[in-house]
Every structure is written in structure tokens, then in C-alpha cells.
A and B are shown apart, each in its own frame.
Chain A
Amino acid sequence: MTGYVVRRLFQMALALLGVSVIVFALIHLVPGDPVRIALGTRFDPDIYEALRARAGLDRPIVVQYFAWLGSAVTGDLGVSFRSGQPVAGLLLERLPATVTLAFSALFVALAVSIPLGIVSAVRSGSKLDYLSTATSQIAVSVPDFWAGIMYILLFSLVLSWLPPSGYVSFLESPVEWLRHLALPALTIGLISGSIIFRFVRSAVLEALNQDYTRTARAKGLSERQVIWRHVMPNAWIPIVTVVGLQLGFLLSGVIIVEVIFAWPGIGRLALLAVQDRDFTVLQGAVLLIAFMFLVINLLVDLLYGYLDPRVRYD
């Protein structure tokens, strides 16, 4: 087992390296220049050249990459072109907001999708099943930015139940934290939940049609025992896979929702970095997201070992 984990960690490092190369190449290939943007539309060619030289932007790309890599492995992710602040600090500042939103959205998603999915599968073909499937179809098709703004207009402007945007830390006021979290979590959670719902439903359906389910029923077990002792343990595996993927997606800081709800997360930071061609911040943000994604993947794989006795890691 330890051997497996060590191998996976090594693969993670390789994956992160690959990601860093791709991001570096992409952002340098796109036209646009952080120094010119930082100087604004009023600039002087001499100052421009001087700043570029100072930032090392006139060196060949490969040299720049290895210079960045060299500092990155020691933990120095560089400094933002836009603000002059250390990248690591910027990321850490915004991480709590993104993580909070990601896990809350996941909570909403699971609270909706798992019960509904199980019931829909068990009562497959019933009106409930059709209604849930249809609703989830609509929910997935609705663009998140539109849904978000609609919720704001309804719950904030019309009903005045919730604040329209912003983030309040839990430590400052748990009540306000929840009130500000509700709409963005709902916006993403319902969409994510709809995706998970379909997987839950099909995973449970699949397990319900297996021989072991028929055997369990034949043995005279109650429906509840059949579901929880035989069907679900098998259904968990594909469900956990998709939940892991969704969580990874959520942690990338759903950019659009962060912008609409003025949520101070990593997604918004990354968007600003792209607009400003702020290479260092973008590298840092993408690497952080990739890292979190890979860690979740690893945890999901390890979770299989716990859920499925057939899985062995050696």
C-alpha cells in the first residue's frame, strides 16, 4: 500500500511538471504583455523596455521557464506583475473562500443528488423518476451565470432574504457567513448535483439489476437491507469517481460564479491574471488547482480500496 502511494506521489509530481510546462507555453504564446498592460495605455517605450528587462522578460522562454521552476521548487512562486505581491501570499489569501464554496456546493449537490438518485433508481419508471430526470436535465442546461443572477434578483432584491454578493468569514460571523454562502453554493450545487444525480441513478440501477440483488431479495431480505447492504456498496464506486471529479472541478474556483457573487476566491484571481497576462500568478494558481485535483484523485483511488474489497494496492 505504501509503495502504491509513493508511486502515485511520484506520478503527481510528474503531472504537475507537465501542467506547468503547458501553462507556461500557452500563456506566452497568447499575444499580450504584462508590462504593457501594467503600464496602462499611457506608457513610455523606454520605461517599457527597462521594466521588461528588469522582469527578465527579454530572456528566451526556455530560460525563463527554468528560472521560474528553480524558484518554484524552493517554494518561491514569484511576484505578481500587477500588484508586486508574492504569488504564494495571494493564493493563500484566497484559498479559504474557494475551498469553502467548493465544499458547500458539494454538500448541496450531494444532499440533493444522493437521496433523489437512489429513490429514482429504486422507483425507476415512476413519475418521481421522470420528474427528477427531467428537472436535472433542465438544471444542467441552465447556464450558471444566468441562474446565479436570477437567484440574486429573486432572493435578494425581491424577497430581501439574502445578501446579493460578498463573503464573510465564519470566524467573523457564522450567521452572515451562511447567508452569504447560500446563493453561490446553491447556484453551483444544483448544477453539480444534477450531474451527480444522473450518475447515482445509473449506478444504483446498474447494481439493482445484478444477480446478487436478485439473490438478496430471494433470501427474503427487506428492501432497505437489500439497498443498503448489497446495492449501495457496489454503487458507491462510480459515484465516488464522479464526486471526486466534481470536487476537483469545484475547487478550480468556478470563475463565473465567483465573479458574479464577488466571491474572493482563486477563480477570480486566475481570471484577472489571464486578463493582465500576469504569468506568475497564473502559473501559481493553475499549479495549486492541479495539485488539489491530483490529491483528490489520489484520495478517491485510496477510497476504492476501502469501499471495494476486491481492490488491492501493491
Chain B
Amino acid sequence: MHTIQVLKAFYRSSIQTDIEYRVDFFTRILASLVGLLTTVGALSIAFNYTGNLAGWTFPQTLVLLSIYYLMDGLIEMFIAPNMRAVMEQVRQGTLDFVLLKPISAQFMASFRTINIWRIVNVMVGLGLSLYTIGRLSLTVGMSQALAFGLTLLCGVAIVYSFWLCLVTLTFWFVKIDNIEQIVWQAFEAGRYPVEIYPVWLRGALTYVIPVAFIITVPARALAGRLPGTYLLIAPVVALASLLLSSAFWRFGLRHYTGASA
């Protein structure tokens, strides 16, 4: 209960700050739509010549694209701004003040701010998925909806854990914005089904930078072509990554000695 109140206060204050920068909202909308049109255009040119890409039909790849936008929006809205703040705090030595607060350091580091204008990508993702489901006349049955909800939740947990591990690395390396760049480069590949990539890359996108679990698996669930075993694998991977990343974070904190002075 107390946690929820703290969270509300955190988010309220950062939304109030963001509201001051309204132009950012329109820049975001433009950026989202241009990116979306480019990818949809690219897909429709390729589908001029073929009926499927590695087993995915055109509408199914659009479902996948919508999940990409949803996840990208969620990361940039909730996860990335906090993790970038931690990196900055480690560099400047101000993380000490965060650690002194009478609240879980991981909670504080993960949920301090929110970047509200990034909600644009979340909305683009939701809109696109509703539109394609309508056009696909995909009848999303109860079981499919549940499978989608479950795998999406797992995806969010996995992506959160992944970023937590990433940010924990700053305790040793201090400057890791380059690593963040690499992660975004891999994430960019998630606009398309991982099945189109060569086997080694598919492996890397599943187990090293888990783009497959974050985007492809929920998209397959929504499109109704997810092998049942994944309903077991995804929660196990999600739970394991939550526990491991949290342990890694605590391990990293023990090594943190403060950067300034």
C-alpha cells in the first residue's frame, strides 16, 4: 500500500515535468508514424513478391510490428529513463543519496521517473494491433487472449530484468551507453519475425538479447500460432530472469563504492 503511494507520487511529479515540454509530444507522434510507415511500406513491398516470410503472413507480421511498438513504448516510458538516471547517478556519485533513502534501492532505481510522451508508441502499438486483428478478422478467442496476456507479461518481466542487468554493469564499467546502443541495434531486428534471421542470430536474439521472448513470442500468441510449450517456457524464463537480475543488482550494489571524491 505504501509502495503504491510512493509510486503515485513519483509518477505524478515526473508527469508534471513532462507536461512542460509539449512539443516533444508532436515530435514523438511524427517519429512514430514515419517509422511505422517505413516498416509497413518495406513489408508490403516484400509481400508483393511472396505470400509469406518464414511462415508469417502479411497481417501476422503487422501484429508482430504492433507488439514491437508496444514494447518499445513501454521500455522508453517506464524502464529506460530510470536506468539512464541510475547510470548518470553512478557517474556523478549521487547514487549515494538514492541508497540512503528508506526504501528498496531496486524499487527506487526502477520506478523513480516516467517519460510520459513515449506513450505515443504504446498507443501506436495498441492501435495497430486492434486494426490488424480487425482486418485479419482474427477471432481472438479466450484462450488466445489469455496466452497473449501471459506471454506479454512475461516479455515485460524479461525486458525489465535485462535492463536491470545492464544497469548493474555500470557499477563496474561506469560508462555503458555504448552497450545500450548495441541493445537497441538488436532490438531494431525485432521489427521482423526472428525466424527470418540465420540460426546463429536467432539464437542470439533468443538467449543473449531476448528479443524473441519480448516481441516474437507474444506476437505468435496473439496471432494464434504459438506452440503450447512456450506457455510453460516463457513464465519460467521470466521468473528466472527476475530472480537472477535482482540478485545480480544486489551483488553489484555490494561492489559499489561511490564514484565521487
Asked if chains A and B come from one complex, the reply is no
